[in-house]
Amino acid sequence: MTHELPAWFQAASLTAVLVILAADLIIVGRRPHVPSMKESALWVAFYVGLAIVFGAVVALVGGAAPAGEFYAGWLTEYSLSIDNLFVFVIIMSRFAVPRQHQQRVLMVGIIIALILRAMFILAGAAIIERFSAIFYLFGAFLIYTAINLVKGDDDDAEFKENPAIRMLRRILPLSDAYDGAKVRTVVDGKRLFTPMLVVFVAIGSTDLLFAFDSIPAIFGLTKDPFIVFTTNVFALMGLRQLYFLLGGLLERLVYLPIALAVILGFIGVKLILEALHTNSLPFLNGGQGFPWAPEIPIWLSLAVIVGSLGIATVASLAKTRRTAALAAADDAVATRDDEPRPGL
């Protein structure tokens, strides 16, 4: 559903978030460093609080419906962004990015993601307006993605250089070492590109792949391009600090892919039901809608999203705690068995 939020509110909101992102980028550029856990936690709390406040303002300006769509979309995009951090960790490790420069890499990646998603959102909104049956394809794609997540056929476990990176290596003169955060350097009098450029391309091209599931997912919750874009902005804001805050915790969220599969599968079914309800394909029911297809309310979507993430988080932490306890017990037994026995 599309909501008529006032133009002044949309303009003011977009200006404010862009100013915040610009300020964040300036801070990173002036003082590249590895943020502490406390600093990261404060920034993540700030951005999460900002999203919650923004949703409340949307409720005051436009009512409960757009606010509910914003919260549902933000939670979905945020959970997908957390899953994307797995790949970012692998990319940073694969290219041996110095830790003090990882903040800048992440910030550039976030800006690239915002630009790409803005293009996808504009294209998606235009397609939906002219061809609402696209929801059949969106829904089928999300269900397919959900099945692959459950089966473990996603690419998170291993990063493979895509054609764009391989072509970059072939056509550009690259140095073997980093020169701070620079993308160009001079070695023996020759101007070369540093591996940092390859890292930027890797992050950017990966963001492009992420948009293929995140954009259909958010359009399954709201048709308002403004809400779609702001949910993506607020999901990406604070992602840089979240990267340093979570650290090894990412490996403990073992059931997160299952939660994401439930969410994406649910939204996929929601999209197909909505497409059936408003069907316009001439070869289905003579181009008429199917009255029996239910319309899933936003409160139910929000409940499924929150419930799936909550259950997955609790179950993941319980499993890793139990696994750690069993490993400690096995180590204790092994140590006791290795101790010399009296009289031997």
Task: Specify if 134 maps to a domain.
Answer: yes
Q: Per the domain annotation, does 49 fall within a domain?
A: yes
More confident call, 193 vs 89: 193
Q: What is the pLDDT of residue 160?
A: 62
Structure letter (DSSP) for residue 283 = T
Whether 239 maps to a domain, the answer reads yes
pLDDT at 55: 93
Assign residue 11 a region (left: φ > 0; alpha: ψ between -120 and 50; beta: otherwise): alpha
- pLDDT at 137 > cutoff 70: yes
Q: Is the pLDDT of residue 84 over 80?
A: no
Confidence band (pLDDT; 50, 70, 90) for 70?
very high
Count the domains in the chain: 1
The pLDDT of residue 52 is above 80: yes
**Residue 343 maps to a domain:** no
241 contacts 77 by C-beta, under 8 angstroms: no
Residue 59 has pLDDT above 90, yes or no: yes
Residue 229 neighbours by CB distance under 10 Å = 21
Stretch 115-128: mean pLDDT:
81
pTM above 0.95, yes or no: no
Phi and psi at 186, nearest 5°, equal -120, 125
Mean pLDDT estimate for the chain: 79
Cα-Cα-Cα-Cα dihedral of 101, 105, 110, 113, to 10°? 180
Give the pLDDT confidence of 18-37 residue by residue, as tens digits: 888 778 777 766 666 677 77
Could you give the angle at which helices 102-130 and 195-219 cross, rounded to 10 degrees?
A: 40
* Residue 344 included in any domain: no
The pLDDT of residue 157: 45
Confidence of residue 184 (pLDDT cuts 50, 70, 90): confident
Examine residue 2 and state whether it is found in any structural domain, yes or no: no
User: Does 156 score more than 50 pLDDT?
Assistant: no
60-67 average pLDDT score? 90
Highest mean pLDDT among 62-76, 96-110, 273-287: 62-76
Q: Is there a contact between 143 and 135 (Cβ–Cβ < 8 Å)?
A: no
**What is the spatial distance between Cα 117 and Cα 111, in angstroms, rounded to a whole number?**
10
Mean pLDDT to the nearest integer, 97-117: 79
Task: Say how many CA atoms lie within 13 Å of 61 toward its Cβ.
Answer: 19
343 confidence band (pLDDT: 50, 70, 90): low
CB neighbours of 17 closer than 8 A, spacing ≥ 6? 230, 233, 234, 237
Domain extent at residue 235? 7-338
Q: Examine residue 21 and state whether it is found in any structural domain, yes or no.
A: yes
Q: What is the pLDDT of residues 202-244, one digit of tens each?
A: 887 777 777 777 788 888 888 888 898 888 888 888 777 787 7
Of the ranges 42-46, 84-88, 145-149, which one carries the lowest mean pLDDT score? 84-88
In tens, the pLDDT along 289-317 reads 777 778 888 888 888 888 988 898 889 88
114 within some domain: yes
User: What was the pLDDT predicted at 9?
Assistant: 92
